[in-house]
Structure 1
């Protein structure tokens, strides 16, 4: 009976809370709509404000525990489309030809076969639509953590008379927090659409079908300030993208392994509730800039645990191996291009100063995935290629258990020794020692050199003594 008596109160509390939120969103509670839009990372314009309020109203009327990510897609496409240009027929013909030549060159540099599907040429908006499912998968654990933490802090900070109201509306608060996070995600991905030049530019294949893709508008902008013919830049970037796509198609375990590692890390992220409490305690509804900065900068995410740091180190090594291999394969395939080294250095500088992967992951899931050991990885793959050739090098991607480790990046010589068989003599000697030690532990005394199979009866005695009795003392 007690449970039944509680239900109407909970429903009434939730309805009261909904009414309170409606008043706040309508301007009756002192919240400036443009400031609220700014907290969600949206531009200060009527269309963005209307989109935010529509999404929040939808979240209020939904009882689902999950996050409606459709707002992220709408925001991302809108932002990407605002500055995009369509692919012209001339660009399409030129880049299609570059991709065909790139495929031929790559055949000589890698063991992995050609892709079954033709590469795509995407607009910025098309890239957002193609990649948003993966972005939401990576961001959801953090979005839920932040939404839950906000609800918990609000419940702890609220006056006694509002406790039951907030407790009865926890799902509602989770949905509203998730909606604001989704809209911010859309803004970030929409911005990324103006930076990336290809499907694999962020280090992982973001398209579900694994197809290679170039964004012609961004390819053109990438080479605008370089004193390098555009045809060389297009060929180089085409080779890089095809190399990346071929690697992930051949090593089918790699994509799932990488995305699973990122999402597992994200699920372990904890929110800094003390920081949240400080924000809530001094929160000014008319000035949401501090809240927006805290969410965007990752300040609400607690310091990494030891387990998370270990996971991050493994993830960073894997990303470095991927990027290093792609760099090395691209360098071999584009050796005919006069300016290939200059283009490669431009890409390295672009990554070193914080490329699209770093800014996106740091904002969304608290991860800075700049592969700092990329140069070491590229040098290791070069040494392996010189030592054992392309076929044996690429065979290392057959299974995660045989992939080079962080220690191999530190010292590639041991990896090369294993691959070339240079360790076989050492291994044989180690095996003989192990066998002798095992015999000794069983109580067997190995025969000394030059002696027969029978051990002498005692030290210093000759073999003339009879075998049927002990030697005289």
Structure 2
């Protein structure tokens, strides 16, 4: 049966289009991999001590990957979500013009183009789609490349990155319902976005095409969300945005809270990294907006402010009531007004 996306072609396209470098010797590469594994283990203890969260589920081993492997892992994760969705849309039957082989190859190239671009940007990721409880990925060439560009101490920068990414692993393993809740919200967004199978697939392909076109020729002014969102999906998107803002802000607060205790050069790293986040030429800016990266950068700042404000007011144990159930998560309005969340949940 034909697929919505030719996943093999997507992985091959991502591998072909992903950037190369930095130049490292085999010894330097092996050392970076060993460092990242060791520092991820070290970061786990720091995160647990700072947050008071205990992993209720046993996490898998950290995976230190290159860009090709990062893209392949995300292809596998996307397959786990998209293939059942396509099956549900078509009830397992062929739909002429919907899941045809030509269309799946076009979508495969588009998805691969997006993943190829992202594979050169992502430092780490807690990937939750492919299996429970998820897997921690650290992209070694990107970490080494950025630490060199920033002139950062390698040990300090690598531990700093690990603190952020390990915090995400702790979130999803210490809060057993969080992954299933996140996946349910993603499904709810899809359900709210779809009016019928043909319209949904058309919207999905338009969204991928919009991003892929911008990467090749960044003159488009259309956002991916503009393409796929419907009025019915806005409420779900608000909940998803609030959740992602919380988990990103929480990780930022952990980085800033633990960093000064264990990373001597953390102040210089944070300052240099923030400048790098804000930088980018016109091409980069368009692509970041289309992919939602600009929104993610705002999530870091907004989420950090919310988490830090709550922790300062009520302390970390009371803040941790946020992980009790989906009902205790902040709304998107409460993220801008931490006092409202405190009054509702942590009073």
Could you say whether these structures have the same fold, taking a TM-score greater than 0.5 normalized by the shorter chain as the test? yes
Q: State the TM-score, normalizing by the size of structure 2.
A: 0.73
User: In the alignment, what sits opposite 2:61?
Assistant: 118
Give the 5 Å matches for 1:94-109.
94-109=35-50
User: Is contact 2:242-2:330 (8 Å) kept?
Assistant: no
User: In the alignment, what sits opposite 2:182?
Assistant: 258
Give the 5 Å matches for 1:235-250.
235-250=159-174
User: Is contact 1:198-1:213 (8 Å) kept?
Assistant: yes
Q: 1:262 to 1:367 in 2, by over 3 A?
A: farther
**Counterpart Cα distance in 2 of 1:211 and 1:333:** 23
Structural RMSD (CA): 4.2
Question: Cα distance, 1:312 vs. partner?
Answer: 2.3
User: Is contact 2:39-2:159 (8 Å) kept?
Assistant: yes
Q: Is 1:212 aligned with 2:136?
A: yes
**Counterpart Cα distance in 2 of 1:130 and 1:417:** 41
**Counterpart Cα distance in 2 of 1:96 and 1:206:** 22
**Counterpart Cα distance in 2 of 1:100 and 1:113:** 14
**Counterpart Cα distance in 2 of 1:241 and 1:335:** 17
Q: State the TM-score, normalizing by the size of structure 1.
A: 0.56
Q: Greater CA radius of gyration, 1 or 2?
A: 1
Question: Cα distance, 1:135 vs. partner?
Answer: 3.0
Q: Is 1:225 aligned with 2:149?
A: yes
User: In the alignment, what sits opposite 1:314?
Assistant: 239
Question: Cα distance, 1:340 vs. partner?
Answer: 2.2
3-state SS of 1:199 partner: strand
**Counterpart Cα distance in 2 of 1:326 and 1:368:** 18
User: In the alignment, what sits opposite 2:75?
Assistant: 132
User: Is contact 2:303-2:335 (8 Å) kept?
Assistant: yes
Question: Cα distance, 1:313 vs. partner?
Answer: 2.3
User: Is contact 2:248-2:299 (8 Å) kept?
Assistant: no
**Counterpart Cα distance in 2 of 1:361 and 1:132:** 22
User: In the alignment, what sits opposite 2:230?
Assistant: 305
Question: Cα distance, 1:234 vs. partner?
Answer: 0.8
User: In the alignment, what sits opposite 1:445?
Assistant: none
Q: 1:367 to 1:297 in 2, by over 3 A?
A: farther
**Counterpart Cα distance in 2 of 1:349 and 1:142:** 40
**Counterpart Cα distance in 2 of 1:299 and 1:321:** 23
User: In the alignment, what sits opposite 1:332?
Assistant: 257
3-state SS of 1:212 partner: strand
- Give the structure, 1 or 2, with the largest relative contact order (CA under 8 Å, sep 6 or more): 2
User: In the alignment, what sits opposite 2:210?
Assistant: none
**Counterpart Cα distance in 1 of 2:139 and 2:221:** 28
1:92 corresponds, among 33, 43, 55, to: 33
**Counterpart Cα distance in 2 of 1:349 and 1:316:** 24
1:188 corresponds, among 103, 114, 127, to: 114
Q: 1:116 to 1:208 in 2, by over 3 A?
A: closer
3-state SS of 1:252 partner: coil
**Counterpart Cα distance in 1 of 2:251 and 2:257:** 10
Give the 5 Å matches for 1:142-181.
170-171=96-97, 174-181=100-107
Question: Cα distance, 1:126 vs. partner?
Answer: 1.8
3-state SS of 1:182 partner: helix
User: Is contact 1:251-1:397 (8 Å) kept?
Assistant: yes
3-state SS of 2:100 partner: helix
User: Is contact 1:317-1:371 (8 Å) kept?
Assistant: no
Question: Cα distance, 1:186 vs. partner?
Answer: 1.7
User: Is contact 1:67-1:178 (8 Å) kept?
Assistant: yes
Write the deviation string for residues 85-134 of structure 1: whole angstroms up to 9, x where unpaired. Answer: 77733223322332233223223211222554332211222212222122
3-state SS of 1:113 partner: coil
User: Is contact 2:54-2:170 (8 Å) kept?
Assistant: yes
User: In the alignment, what sits opposite 1:77?
Assistant: 15
Q: 1:376 to 1:361 in 2, by over 3 A?
A: closer
Question: Cα distance, 1:302 vs. partner?
Answer: 4.5
